[in-house]
Structure 1
Amino acid sequence: MSRRAVVTVAAVLAVVAAALVAWRVLTPTTPLADALTYAPDATSRATWTDWEGVRRELDADVDAGSSAEEVDAFVSDAFAADLSAMSALGTSAGTMQTELGFSPATLLWELLAQSPAGAVEVLGVGADTSFDGLAERLTDAGWTEPEDEDGVWIGGPDVVARVGSLTPELQHFVLLADRGVVLASDQAPYLEQVREVVDGDADAAAGLGDLASTLGEPLAAAVYDGTYACERLAMAQADEDAQAEADQLVAAAGGVHPLTGFAMGALAGGELRAVLQVEDADDAPGDADARAQLAAGPAPGQGGDFTDRFSVEAAGSDGREITLDLQPEEGAYVLSDLTSGPVLFATC
């Protein structure tokens, strides 16, 4: 290769490298998208709770020194604000506080990632949480310590039952002290699979992560792949009359295309955002109009109208993603209600 060719190739590589750096700078990640890097590629459903943000939103003063009763009261307040329904820790909060030394009163965030093979709780713990102290608590409570520092702590239903009111998802643990993260699952072998993702030996749920990043930084959220969304949000779950009404409403709106992903998140200040992903970007603008129309009308299968629950503040599309910005009515549980079906505006 001539010197001129070498210089040209080097220049091209330099431009590519600079472009990659610029891309990373211009496309910042989000805490939710970061958390999904721990979730296996087969993850079909993920739910998120930004516990630090929820405490700030509710002006809650719970912390590591709070009693179990105070922590349970905080979680109840979060539920009343529709900010804890995506969590798997609601009934475990007080016990976690007293027996494990961390809970929704101290956690930064929580992600529950589920796949056909299993589920994992990914917990971002606060800087004040001592992993050595957590290890001691687990040992004292009956968990079996692993040989490796980042191995699986084996518990099981008997251990959890002795500790108190804990969700089955907290049967086995992996402590990632260098990352400030705790992994938990009801299946020890599944945690081994998640460790492969952490170690870079298996793929993470990149597609869900990309979709989740379009939500911004929600306090609570649900993110589904296309298969899960089209099954769990489907109008097929409604009775025949509701399905017939839905068919007429969809036809009147101009029709919609199947979803390849769905996400909904509650943002600070009370706004809600829904992101619906279609396979072809060319279909997104038309779907945005149709789905916005559907979201502003009757809610067959759920009763009444969607306008009883929220107003559509804005609708649009960017690439394959359709975004609906919603303003919930006071007292409406929009996030928890509309992340399970039937949901007409999320129909496939």
Structure 2
Amino acid sequence: MSRRAVAALAAVLVVVAAALVAWRLLAPTTPLVDALAYAPDGTSRASWTDWEGVRRELGSDVGAGSSAEEVDAFVTEAFSSDLSSMSALGTSAATMQTELGFSPASLDWELLAQSADGAVEAMGVGEDLSFDYLAQRLEDAGWTAPEDDEGVWVGGPDVAAGVGSLTPELQHFALLADRGVVLASDEAPYLEQVLEVVNGDADAADGLGDLASALGEPLAAAVYDGAYACEHLAMARADEAAQAEADQLVAAAGDVHPLTGFAMGAFPGGDVRAVLEVEDADDAPGDADARAQLAAGPAPGQGGDFADRFSVEAAGSDGREITLDLRPVEGAYVLSDLTSGPVLFATC
């Protein structure tokens, strides 16, 4: 190859690289994708609740000034609508409201990110909460303040129990006032690791962002990496008769390929979307057809037919992501029921 050709090729590569960087910078993001920036590398599953959206969907007027009883009633209504099943805060909501000064009644959003190393609860608290006020509430309740304003407030099980009914994830805190975010964990050392991610000294979770982006802007969602999905949604969790039926149904639907990720979310109006990711984009169209067929038929291991729970409104693929748009029947708990196995159409 001549020097001129080499130079021309190099110039083309520079342009392509610049265009890719620009696309990444300008690509639309979502609140869920943004929240995953607080999830450390190694995160295998994340649970999302858009509390602001849930309040809007239910027409609720609860807020920072609501009573504990009003907050409990709101959380109960959200649960009945299958919009709080992904939250870690349901049983803690009233105590958070009265003792900490924030709760699902006032939060913008919540993300629980879990890995083999630990769990972190990230909460967007909005513009109305004073972080000085929150810090004072924590100090008065027995948490030990950090030397750095954005360090870890150390509590522990005794401190949390002294406050009232709090989930273990709320034992230690980090207050990110400039971001409007509160982080919490049941392990102070793990929360220190999360702060390294926040400060750019460690990597955030890799691989969940594409799934979350394909999911869109759900009110509640679960996002799993491939290893977690293939274990926890597996037909191996069903009895032998259900597994045998599943094998026959998969053989009739056509080949399906192992998943590298799975996400499911509930949206305003009640619709549910499932996003299934395969390793090779060439396999995605065939998988979309086969998995849509599986999602419209019997539900071995779950009981009955999937059609008893929802109808498949649309199915397709884009790159490696397969999307199934589902419309639940009235009273069905599709999101909470089908984010744990066995789930035939999510078979690996």
Say yes or no: TM over 0.5.
Answer: yes
Residues 14, 306 of structure 1: CA spacing in aligned structure 2 closer, same or farther, 3 A cutoff? closer
Letter matched to residue 181 of structure 1: V
Correspondence for 2:62? 62
- d(CA) in 1 for partners of 2:236 and 2:242? 9
Residues 12, 326 of structure 1: CA spacing in aligned structure 2 closer, same or farther, 3 A cutoff? closer
In the TM superposition, what are the counterparts of 1:158-177 in structure 2 within 5 Å?
158-177=158-177
SS in 2 for 1:270: coil
In the TM superposition, what are the counterparts of 1:27-66 in structure 2 within 5 Å?
27-66=27-66
- d(CA) in 2 for partners of 1:6 and 1:243? 59
Letter matched to residue 128 of structure 2: D
List per-residue Cα deviations over 1:215-263 (Å, max 9, x = no partner). Answer: 1100000000000000000000000000000000000101211000000
Correspondence for 2:307? 307
TM-score normalised to structure 2 length: 0.95
Correspondence for 1:329? 329
SS in 1 for 2:106: coil
In the TM superposition, what are the counterparts of 1:190-209 in structure 2 within 5 Å?
190-209=190-209
Correspondence for 1:342? 342
- Counterpart check, 1:84 vs 2:84: yes
Retained in 2: the 8 A contact 1:37–1:206? no
Give how far 1:267 is off: 1.0
* Structure 2 stretches lacking a partner, 5+ long: 1-5
- d(CA) in 2 for partners of 1:63 and 1:75? 12
SS in 1 for 2:207: helix
In the TM superposition, what are the counterparts of 1:287-306 in structure 2 within 5 Å?
287-306=287-306
Give how far 1:10 is off: 8.7
List per-residue Cα deviations over 1:32-58 (Å, max 9, x = no partner). Answer: 000001101100010000000000000
- d(CA) in 1 for partners of 2:268 and 2:157? 37
- Counterpart check, 1:226 vs 2:226: yes
Retained in 2: the 8 A contact 1:36–1:206? no
Retained in 2: the 8 A contact 1:299–1:305? yes
SS in 2 for 1:214: helix
- d(CA) in 2 for partners of 1:168 and 1:298? 38
Letter matched to residue 87 of structure 1: S
In the TM superposition, what are the counterparts of 1:146-165 in structure 2 within 5 Å?
146-165=146-165
Letter matched to residue 256 of structure 1: V
Letter matched to residue 259 of structure 1: L
Letter matched to residue 24 of structure 1: L
Residues 131, 7 of structure 1: CA spacing in aligned structure 2 closer, same or farther, 3 A cutoff? farther
When structure 1 is superposed on structure 2, of 193-202 and 110-119 the one drifting more is 193-202
- d(CA) in 1 for partners of 2:8 and 2:341? 59
Correspondence for 2:246? 246
* Structure 1 stretches lacking a partner, 5+ long: none
List per-residue Cα deviations over 1:311-347 (Å, max 9, x = no partner). Answer: 0000001111000000000000000000000000001
Give how far 1:170 is off: 0.0
Give how far 1:20 is off: 3.2
- Counterpart check, 1:21 vs 2:22: yes
Give how far 1:174 is off: 0.4
Correspondence for 2:261? 261
- d(CA) in 1 for partners of 2:156 and 2:246? 45
Residues 8, 50 of structure 1: CA spacing in aligned structure 2 closer, same or farther, 3 A cutoff? same
Give how far 1:209 is off: 1.4
Correspondence for 2:182? 182
- d(CA) in 2 for partners of 1:36 and 1:15? 28
- d(CA) in 2 for partners of 1:101 and 1:192? 24
List per-residue Cα deviations over 1:60-82 (Å, max 9, x = no partner). Answer: 00011100100010000000000
- d(CA) in 2 for partners of 1:248 and 1:12? 49
- Percent identity, aligned pairs only? 80
- d(CA) in 2 for partners of 1:305 and 1:76? 28
- d(CA) in 2 for partners of 1:104 and 1:215? 23
- d(CA) in 1 for partners of 2:95 and 2:236? 39
Retained in 2: the 8 A contact 1:125–1:180? yes
Letter matched to residue 21 of structure 1: A
SS in 2 for 1:314: strand
TM-score normalised to structure 1 length: 0.95
Letter matched to residue 34 of structure 1: D
Deviant stretches of 4+, over 6 Å = 5-12
- d(CA) in 1 for partners of 2:294 and 2:9? 55
- d(CA) in 2 for partners of 1:282 and 1:11? 27
SS in 1 for 2:121: strand
Correspondence for 2:316? 316
SS in 2 for 1:94: helix
